[in-house]
Amino acid sequence: MSKPEVLSPAGDIESFDTALRFKADAVYLAGKSFGMRTASKNFSFEELKTSCEKAHALKKRVYLTCNTLPRNADLPHMPAFLQQAADCGVDAFIIADLGVFEMAKRYAPHVERHISTQGGIINYESALAWYNLGAKRVVLAREMRLDEIAELRAKIPDELEIECFVHGAMCVSFSGRCLISSFMTGRDANRGDCAQPCRWKYHLYEENREGQFFPVEEDDKGTYLYNSRDLCMIEHIPELVQAGVNSLKIEGRAKTYYYTGVTTNAYRHAVDEYWDHREDPDYHVSPWIVEELEKISHRAYSTGFFFGEPGQETVNGGYIRRYNAVAVCEEGSNEDNVCVITQRNKFLVGDTLDILPPDGFSYEVKCLSLRNEEGEEVPSAPHPMQRLSMTTDREIPAGSVIRKRN
């Protein structure tokens, strides 16, 4: 067994910095082309270079997604993209297409090549084939059970690493290869432009009852025919490690810095805690770690395919939102418990706030007063990205995420 890597998502610089602050071992992201999340801001080459330098200074790694399925017209742009990304210092490319894999070998030979979950790897012969072609890591299909992963691990070289998604949104299709978006909107999910029609609400329509729609209701918001529950394996780190998984991947490059911070913090503590108690056969993750993942917006959780084929119970309705991020602490509290924050959502003087520090447990404080940049007392923080001084009844460290229960 080896201690697994905590691999966090970043769709922009703020999420990237948050992942590092909350102690991810590695971060995966995309450039402006060839990534599977075009809705995210993603990274210019200049931003990518700066981000790699930040990560490497902390001995962390950066993986660049090149996991779209490109058409012929896309390929002439690939060599320069790969070379420039390599010059920026990325540690690995995440690749789905065999042709792109060979181009990466040719144009950026010193950069590791990881095979994306889009590759649909679900058996050891497929993993071995990619290893023999030069892959350093395989990101397994989400549809594999833990016992299948353990068997695969036993039949591949130790040098070939295994990465698995352990948290986040689940796609209705096999390994993310979906045509619903293309069919319904003309937006190609396999080229990073998914419109997520599987998250939409659907109703039945009877041809002889024009204009009448019949919901097959699951809740008061309608029915969700394709809408998978979110994946959450926070309580099963021991089983993942014992199956031979080297990297625990958190889904969410299209999500916020707040999501990245909370999930990274939870999995960081869960992995470290388990590793310190790995000889204990009765180990269970601390409840506060599990509770942290209830503080982000999410669908009801499940363990996906890890413990067997999921059934109808994995179909789920809308999001659960118990907390909102309201600010980030830019400068930690002084001796008078005054800190400097930037606002993200409105909150009021007198509110009880939940603090997630970059290291350690979350805890609550009370907002006693707020002052704007002119030093004037204000009753609330209503303006996005407004910089304020906040007095509280407890210290808040720099880099903390500040949130409020709904």
Helix (H, G, I), strand (E, B) or coil at 282: coil
* Global confidence as pTM: 0.88
What is the average per-residue pLDDT within 25-42? 80
User: What percent of the chain clears pLDDT 90, i.e. is strictly above it?
Assistant: 74
Query: Which residues have CB under 8 Å from 403's CB, separation 6+?
Result: 258, 295, 323, 324, 325, 326, 353, 354, 355, 356
pLDDT tens-digit map of 342-394: 999 999 999 999 999 998 889 999 999 999 999 999 999 999 999 999 999 99
Please choose, from the candidates 246, 173, 239, the residue with its C-alpha nearest in 3D space to the C-alpha of residue 5.
Answer: 246
The pLDDT value recorded for residue 189 is: 64
The pLDDT value recorded for residue 111 is: 98
Please choose, from the candidates 253, 329, 259, the residue with its C-alpha nearest in 3D space to the C-alpha of residue 295.
Answer: 259
Please choose, from the candidates 372, 365, 376, 371, the residue with its C-alpha nearest in 3D space to the C-alpha of residue 400.
Answer: 365
CATH architecture of the domain covering 323-405 = Beta Barrel (2.40)
Indicate the pLDDT class of residue 118, thresholds 50, 70 and 90: confident
Please choose, from the candidates 342, 351, 387, 395, the residue with its C-alpha nearest in 3D space to the C-alpha of residue 369.
Answer: 351
pLDDT tens-digit map of 242-281: 999 999 999 999 899 999 999 999 999 999 999 999 999 9
pLDDT at residue 49 greater than cutoff 90 = yes
CA dist 403 and 353 (Å) reads 6
Instruction: Please state at what angle helix 45-57 crosses helix 78-88, rounded to 10 degrees.
Output: 30
pLDDT tens-digit map of 281-315: 999 999 999 999 999 999 889 998 899 876 545 55
Mean pLDDT of the chain: 90
The pLDDT value recorded for residue 170 is: 79
CA dist 157 and 120 (Å) reads 19
pLDDT at residue 219 greater than cutoff 70 = no
What is the average per-residue pLDDT within 104-115? 97
Helix (H, G, I), strand (E, B) or coil at 250: strand
CA-based R_g, the chain, Å = 22
Query: Which residues have CB under 8 Å from 383's CB, separation 6+?
Result: 343
- Does 3.20.20.70 match the CATH number of domain 5-174+227-314? yes
351: left (phi over 0), alpha (psi -120 to 50) or beta: beta
- Higher-confidence residue: 355 or 175? 355
Indicate the pLDDT class of residue 86, thresholds 50, 70 and 90: very high
pLDDT at residue 231 greater than cutoff 70 = yes
Q: What angle do CA 61, 172, 179 make, to 5 degrees?
A: 95
Cβ burial, residue 292 (10 Å; 0-12/13-18/19+): buried
* Cα–chain center distance at 382: 28
CA dist 220 and 239 (Å) reads 37
Q: What angle do CA 188, 176, 27 make, to 5 degrees?
A: 100
Please choose, from the candidates 197, 162, 185, 190, the residue with its C-alpha nearest in 3D space to the C-alpha of residue 175.
Answer: 190
Query: Which residues have CB under 8 Å from 316's CB, separation 6+?
Result: 224, 227, 228, 229, 299, 300
Domain limits, the chain = 5-174+227-314, 323-405
The pLDDT value recorded for residue 194 is: 73
pLDDT at residue 192 greater than cutoff 90 = no
CA dist 266 and 291 (Å) reads 9
Token pair listed for 117: 């979950």
Which strand (E) or helix (H) includes residue 118?
A: none
The pLDDT value recorded for residue 89 is: 98
pLDDT at residue 197 greater than cutoff 60 = yes
Please tell me the number of Cα atoms within 13 Å of 54 on its side-chain side: 18
Please choose, from the candidates 231, 234, 230, the residue with its C-alpha nearest in 3D space to the C-alpha of residue 273.
Answer: 234
What is the average per-residue pLDDT within 81-100? 97
Question: What φ, ψ does residue 97 adopt, rounded to 5°?
Answer: -100, 135
The pLDDT value recorded for residue 400 is: 97
